[in-house]
Structure 1
Amino acid sequence: MKSIKSIFLLLFFQLFLHTQFAVGQDIPFVPPVFNYNTTNYKAGNQNWAIAQDNNEVMYFANNQGLLSFDGVNWKLHKLPNNRGVKSIFIDKHDNSEKIYVGSFEEFGYFERNAANILVYHSLKHLVNDYTFVNDEIWTILNHDNTVYFQSFSSYFTYRNNKVTAHKSNPSPLYFFTLQNKLFAQLIKDGLHQLKDNKFQRVITRDQLSDDDVVGMISLDSTDLIVTSKYGFFKLNSSESSVGKWQTSVDDELQDAVVNRVVTISDSLFVIGTINNGIYAITNKGKLAWHINRKNGLNNNTVLGLYKDKVGNLWAALDNGISNIQLHYDISIFEPSDIQIGMVEDMLITESKTYVATNQGVYLYNPSIKSFTQLPAFNIQTWYIKQIGKQIIAGHNKGASFIENNSQTFIKGSSTGGTDIKEVTINGQEALIETTYSFLSVFLKDNADMWQFSHNISDGFVDLATNLEVDHTGNLWLNHMYKGIYRLRLDDEI
């Protein structure tokens, strides 16, 4: 049993998602999300790709140019033709740190000059014997000291200040690197490896349920192929066959349509979808969390994903940019279908989760993945605690026992129960409750159950919001405005 005090409108849990209670009760906690839109960054809606430089500045391929964000300031760096940027790659091995970008019938790199200003250098003029026809650069990557620019009809290699155009049939749909190898998904074909500028088939399309590969990752010593609609396949060591790698969301992903994938750690990876936001999946194939427009994202269509240097996840969206805070041990659940108010306290038992708010007491319902209010419990509630076998809630009218999801008002309890603690004074066990006025005392009956005994009206009559008991039996009370009180009860309590 745990009780967590909070003053936030959301349910902030300073616990990992994979704790026993969260999994057991299937509460859909998600990491905190910070959203940015055109009002923030003053550029286009669509963002396609993301990268980060050695100074931890973030860059985004925006449909109005290259967008940069240093954590405070946004800046738009336009291409000479004012075209949008569709892909980014930062060469961090070069002393000058080139920021490669791809656009419509255009590619090149930004580089800082002596004044620390980004200046664009086009590479298109280095292309010989090639006619650009609607070539849009969708992927840029480095392999074997060569920069590759991939469009849907061809690809270009840049090495030693020389650009070479390459045509292929079928044409490339996606390029990937895995285990120091360069792979390509060809249009309406299977997965190929690029060797000596020749595509060699690795996996046929039939082996992948006639689907497109959208990503390849290594996870916990396992190489995974990620497809658009039919989930994940484990690539064997000979790279000639695959086996289905099951997850708990395979059926869901068919409709969501996977578009991007990024590894977070050896035990977690994240996929971005076209229709339903972002899914985080463990190395056991279990869903860790799912964020979409209902619970955090600006938009459900994820066009790019990137893990930054501190471990946070950035998402380039069809409308805006989202930053998912993964490096904090904090998760959030905010019901989308009900306003539960300000959370004052939470009680988690082996099988149930209760929330005390300024609107009453709510119980989590796993079948609908949301909260329902306990019957006739629609009043400001300050605490909810399990003491022994009993659950007690303090509220504006006093205190109530909760049993079988209904409340029984405790007769005699003082108005406004704000906190309650178990104490032992001269060998006698008791519960002391702070209220809007008196201290209330609960004692055990013959059945070893707590019952209201009396109010202490002499010596202290004031509003106390929190109570702690030290090892010597002193009571420490917090007044909302006046500060801290120290009290000591006599032997008769």
Structure 2
Amino acid sequence: MQTQYVRWRFLLFLISLLSVTCFSLHATDFVPIVSNFTKKEYKAANQNWTVGQDKHGYMYFGNNDGLLRYDGTSWELFRIPGNRVVRSLLIGQDGRIYVGSYEEFGYFEPKPDGQLCYHSLSQLLKNYTMQNDEIWSILSIGGKIYFQSFTSFFVFDGKTVTGCREPLTFLIFNKYRNAIYTHVDGKSLSRMDPATGQFYPVIAHNAPPDPVISILPYDAHRALLVTTTGGLFLLDGNQCQVFKNDANDLLKKAQANRAIMTKDSVFVIGTILDGAIAINKKGKVLWQLNTSNALQNNTILGIYCDKVNNVWLALDKGVSLIHNGGNVHYVAAFQPSIGAIYDVNIDKSSIYIGTNQGLYIGTVSNLSSNTKSLSVQLVPQIRGQVWSLARFDNQLFVGNNESTYCFDGKNLTPVCDVKGGFCLKRGVINGQDVLVQGTYTQLCIYKKNIRGRWAFSNVVDSFINPIRYLEVDYQGTIWASHLQLGLYRIVLAPDLQHIRSIHLYTHFDGKTPTNITVFKIGNRVVFNNGVRFYTFDDLSKKIIPYDLLNNGLGIFASAYRVLHFRDDYYWFIRDEDAALAEVTNDKVTIVDVIQYASLPGETVDKSETILPVSDSQCLIGMENGLALYQLPNQNITNEVRFPLAIKSVNAMNMDNSEQFRVSLINPKPLPFRLNSVEFTVAFPNYNDLDNIYYRYKLDGFDTRWSDLKTTPYQEYTRLPYNHYVFNAEVVTSTGKVVDRISYSFEILPPFYLSIWAKLLYLMMFIGLVLVAIHRTKIFLLKKKAKIEQMHTELRRKEVEEREQRIMRLEKEKLETELTLKSKELASSTMSIIKKNDILTTIKEELVYQKKQLGTQYPKKYFDKIVHIVDENLSTEDDWAIFQTNFDRIHDNFFRKLHERYPELTSNDLRLCAYLRLNLTSKDIANLMNISLKGVEAGRSRLRKRLHIPPEKNLTEFMIEIK
């Protein structure tokens, strides 16, 4: 209290000194992180009435359109007959989801394929007629299920359903200590006797004036009663008294509607007018959520605490999830806004927040308890961008745009007028204990003065560069990260004012120039180029990869900022997330990961800050807000976690015209036509929704795991027939496998490859073999017959050739004989011609001698000789003999010629014969006893009768006649 008083007195002094009004903010409570779901996400009506969770971890919501199911990734809607509103639901011990609606109630039950199937129980009613019965609550008592409307209730014993109408009106049924309690008009809180269905008043004294809508366990003997507008009461036996708490006035105005007790014994009450409020057993308000800070609607129609202590709200508009089970429990948003938070520092109960608007100082209380609140005020002396808050020996240095200030708990004074104090680090350089500051332009050196207080000493000469991060190693070397150019290695002279040596590293491993950051882990200075970590090797005097970090951090090896938590624990920060890792000399272990997407506010890009406030807690700076992180208890091993499950398996044909939902238990083999299979998995764990990834592998098809995906489904198309095993794994961003599952199935061969088809193919093959054998035999027989025919034909041809040779020989012989005969005939003809010539000459000589001798040559002798000569000249007898021989040699030449040309005379035929013998005109004249002119005239006459054109040779024509 004394420290707080001193601080406020100092602030008032500053206000009066500077005559500036201090900007102040009201106390801001830390409230839980909330995830909101709208109708666009779950694709159903706005209004939700009730909520529950089954043994698999799935969440169910009663919606105006039906029953909603949520598995952490996807939503499904299941309708009831008539598409009625689901007002109430109960997850039974038997796994059924009992639901109630207007004049309709029943249960959904999962089929072997995972699909929910509805069974109506209201149709089993006998001797009962419903009259505007709306089922508002469902309870399980003594193995029976009770469905309650305002004037009736219905009991299902597992086989039959009975209805009971009462002559009174009651509100919601409540289960307390295995009995049913409800508010009955005219009787206040009453207990129902299940055996008789009678209602008996419970409270004898000081009954609440308003209806009791919920009864919750408070301790071993007392119950907490929540009334609609009368506040909270404690019931002990039949005695009732007001429960004093900080929320009574609010609850009376907001109209309580639903209430639960969480697993950490916190009462959460949902109201009609002002959201939800949480109260501990001491009556202290822990938080309130409404449309002003987290919720999308103020009307709470249903409320439920799940198995990991998260609270679900069914709203008049949407669904909200209050994350009580996560490691980041609470977050504060400032009203009005204080801007983007770049650094935070805490000293006992005082908090200092550096933003882009200036420095805020305030009080933070009870960070270690369930009640957390924050109150801050703007320091008027420091305005504009505050980059860093660094505390050394109870002196807080504030790096501001204009200058650097020092606050020692009493006095706030400027210590350095160099603009833009980015960072401030402590180290020993040349044996001197110093602070080194990186700014927009220069390196600044701070030393302790004679009073033992840190004070500005000097700037480093000849160094003008903007330095965002820096570290001093054990040798006194300054490693300074330029905003853009790279990394400086600076060795100062003993006077700490001059640079003895300097080297600029623009890149590592020959890569392109990049922004390089520098941090210290333990006593080792490390660097990061946005890809992996490096360190300086003192022996080789080179920068080398830091394999211990790179291998142990996985994807967080690309962290561009490192912040110390405690001991060997460090935060490694990236754009989307931050990992808390334990770094020892031989091992790096990732302890936890924060996904920035899970926080309601945005972080400050590239300047995220995480401040330790205890050994187990950190504050996370954001845009106009702070989140409180709680380190997980490593000793707790009984954390509730629902296993990864196969939610559905759908088989489809090639064009999706036929679909089949496959059983999840002992599935039957799939026909080949349904060889496209889609798997949907579910991992209903709601605290790490942004740090869950899936990967898949199909044994028998895939050779490696798929890449990490955020989608919980995987499809395989046109799978060959085979036995397969589908494998799915849930993996965190660090690569840790959280859970895995397998599912075996078989795709049958197509009909043409089935056993029956193979038997048919075997029979067909045997038939084909037999046919082939038969055809082969026929072919061989035909071939044999063909060969025999060929042999016969060859023999025939040989005989024919032999006969033809004989005939040719005979023909040649005949032709030879014919030639011979022709020659003989020609020779004979020539002989006759010669004979006739001689005889003619002799006759002419005799006639000449007779004329010369006259009478001297007796006529008697002359005539005798002339007669002998005339007798031996060619006669008709010679011609007849010649014609006969000519026809014999020349194949009836005269007969054929006479048949073709009957008008030919005997002299014409004789001339034709002589022409065929190719005799000269002179020879022909001698044979025919005519002159040469007579021969020519005969030729001319013959040409006309034979119709031979002038250009045709007459002798050739005769030779060609066959």
TM-score, normalisation: structure 2: 0.45
- Return the match for 1:419 from 417, 423, 426: 423
Q: Counterpart of 2:86?
A: 85
| Partner residue of 2:406 out of 385, 401, 409 | 401
Residue 459 (structure 2) aligns with: 455
In 1, are the aligned partners of 2:99 and 2:106 still within 8 Å (CA)?
yes
* Aligned residue type for 2:440: Y
Q: Does 1:261 align with 2:296?
A: no
The answer on 1:43 being equivalent to 2:48 is: no
C-alpha separation between the residues in 1 aligned to 2:409 and 2:273?
40
d(CA) in 1 for partners of 2:30 and 2:244?
23
Three-state SS of the structure 1 residue aligned to 2:250 is helix
For residues 168 and 483 of structure 1, the distance between their equivalents in structure 2, rounded to whole angstroms, comes to: 82
* Residues 422 and 50 (structure 1), Cα distance of their counterparts in 2 relative to 1, 3 Å cut: same
Report deviation, 1:220: 5.0
Question: Which amino acid in structure 2 is aligned with residue 194 of structure 1?
Answer: M
Q: Which structure dedicates a bigger proportion of its chain to helix? A: 2
* Deviation readout 1:176-197 (Å, 9 max, x if unpaired): 1122222122235311122222
Shift in alpha-carbon separation, 1:482–1:202, aligned structure 2, 3 A: farther
Q: What do residues 99-157 of structure 1 show as CA deviations (whole Å, max 9, x unaligned)?
A: 11111111111112233211211111122233322211111111111111111111111
Q: Which runs of 5+ in 1 are unaligned?
A: 1-24
Length, aligned pairs only: 459
Q: Counterpart of 2:232?
A: 232
Counterpart residue number, 1:207: 206
Q: Distance in 2 between matches of 1:375 and 1:40?
A: 45
SS in 2 for 1:253: helix
Contact 2:264–2:309 at 8 Å: present in 1 too? no
Alpha-carbon distance in structure 1 between the residues aligned to 2:487 and 2:90 = 57
Which protein has greater RCO, CA pairs closer than 8 Å, 6+ apart?
Answer: 1
1:441 matched residue in structure 2: 445
The CA deviation at 1:299 is 0.8
Checking the alignment, whether the CA contact within 8 Å between 2:255 and 2:271 is kept in structure 1 is yes
Residues 254-333 of structure 1 aligned to structure 2 (within 5 Å): 254-330=252-328, 331-333=330-332
- AA of the residue aligned to 1:157: V
Give the equivalent residue in structure 2 for 1:374.
Answer: 379
Aligned-residue offset at 1:26: 5.7
The equivalent of 1:334 in structure 2 is: 333
- Residue 18 of structure 1 is matched in structure 2 by none
Percent of aligned positions with the same letter in both sequences? 37
| Alpha-carbon distance in 2 for matches of 1:249, 1:260 | 15
- Residue 268 of structure 1 deviates from its aligned partner by 1.9
Taking the aligned partners of 1:129 and 1:86, their CA distance within structure 2 comes to: 25
The separation in 2 between residues aligned to 1:473 and 1:244, in whole angstroms, is 68
Q: Does the 8 Å contact 1:150/1:172 carry over to 2?
A: no
Preserved CA contact (<8 Å) 1:266 1:283: no
By how many angstroms is 1:351 displaced?
Answer: 4.6
| 2:295 partner amino acid | L
Query: In the TM superposition, what whole-angstrom CA distance separates every residue of 1:323-378 from its partner, at most 9, and x where no partner exists?
Result: 1111123221112x323332111223345433212232234489x97655332644
Structure 1 Cα separation of the partners of residues 481 and 154 of structure 2 = 69
- The answer to whether the 8 A contact 1:375-1:406 is kept is no
CA distance in 2, matches of 1:190, 1:415: 71
Is 2:187–2:201's contact at 8 Å kept on the other side of the alignment? no
CA distance, structure 2, for counterparts of residue 224 and residue 314 of structure 1: 21
Q: Specify the alignment match of 1:193 in structure 2.
A: 191
Summarize the Cα distance change of 1:491–1:109 in structure 2 as closer, same or farther, 3 Å threshold.
farther
Aligned 8 A contact 2:429 2:477 in 1:
no
The question of 1:391 aligning with 2:416 is answered no
> Structure 1 residues 275, 348: closer, same or farther in 2, change over 3 A?
farther
Counterpart residue type for residue 308 of structure 1: D
For each residue in 1:152-210, what CA deviation from the matched residue of structure 2 results, as whole angstroms up to 9, or x when unmatched? 11111111321111222432201111222221222353111222222121115x72331
Contact 1:231–1:246 (8 Å) recurs in 2: no
SS of aligned partner of 1:319: coil
For the pair 1:430 / 2:434, whether they are aligned, the reply is yes
Contact 2:215 2:226 in 1 (8 A): yes
Paired with 1:290 and 1:470, the residues of 2 have a C-alpha distance of 49
Shift of 1:487: 6.3
The corresponding residue for 1:70 is 71
Q: Which amino acid aligns with 2:396?
A: I
- For structure 2, the residue ranges without an aligned partner over 5 or more in a row are 1-25, 365-372, 497-962
| Structure 2 counterpart SS, 1:259 | strand
Please give the alpha-carbon distance, in whole angstroms, between the structure 1 residues aligned to 2:311 and 2:487: 42
Distance 2:86 2:75 in 1: 16
1:241 aligned to which of 239, 242, 248: 239
Asked if 2 retains the 8 angstrom alpha-carbon contact of 1:174 and 1:185, the reply is: yes
Q: Is the 8 A contact 1:384 1:391 kept in 2?
A: yes
* SS at structure 2 position matched to 1:465: strand
Please tell me the residue identity of whatever aligns with 2:241: G
Q: 1:163 aligns with which of 134, 158, 161?
A: 161
Q: Relative to structure 1, is the Cα distance of residues 308 and 475 closer, same or farther in structure 2, using a 3 angstrom cutoff?
A: farther
Q: Give the match for residue 129 of structure 1.
A: 127
Partner of 2:678 in structure 1? none
Q: Is the partner of 2:206 in helix, strand or coil?
A: helix
8 Å CA contact 2:275, 2:291 repeated in 1: yes
Deviation of 1:264 (Å): 1.4
Name the CA distance, whole Å, in 1 between partners of 2:234 and 2:477.
Answer: 62
Structure 1 residue 286 displacement after superposition: 1.1
Cα distance in 2 between the residues matched to 1:58 and 1:272: 19
Asked whether the equivalents of residues 428 and 472 of structure 2 are also in contact (C-alpha less than 8 Å), the reply is no
Q: Are the structure 2 counterparts of residues 437 and 112 from structure 1 closer, same or farther at C-alpha, using a change threshold of 3 Å? A: same
Give the partner amino acid of 1:456. Answer: V
Structure 2 CA distance for aligned equivalents of residues 474 and 326 of structure 1: 47
Contact kept in structure 2, 1:220 and 1:283, CA below 8 Å = no
What does 1:105-116 correspond to in 2, within 5 Å?
105-116=103-114
> 1:389-422 deviations in whole A, cap 9, x for unaligned?
443211233322358999654343x332122244
Q: Which residue of 2 aligns with 1:344?
A: 342
1:480 CA drift (Å): 5.6
**1:280–1:288 Cα contact (<8 Å) kept:** yes
What is the alpha-carbon distance in structure 2 between the residues aligned to residue 200 and residue 469 of structure 1?
78
**Aligned residue for 1:139?**
137
- Structure-2 separation of matches of 1:143 and 1:486: 75
Further displaced range: 168-177 or 37-46: 168-177
- Do 1:172 and 1:185's aligned partners in 2 also have CA atoms closer than 8 Å? yes
- The residue matched to 2:40 in structure 1 has which SS? helix
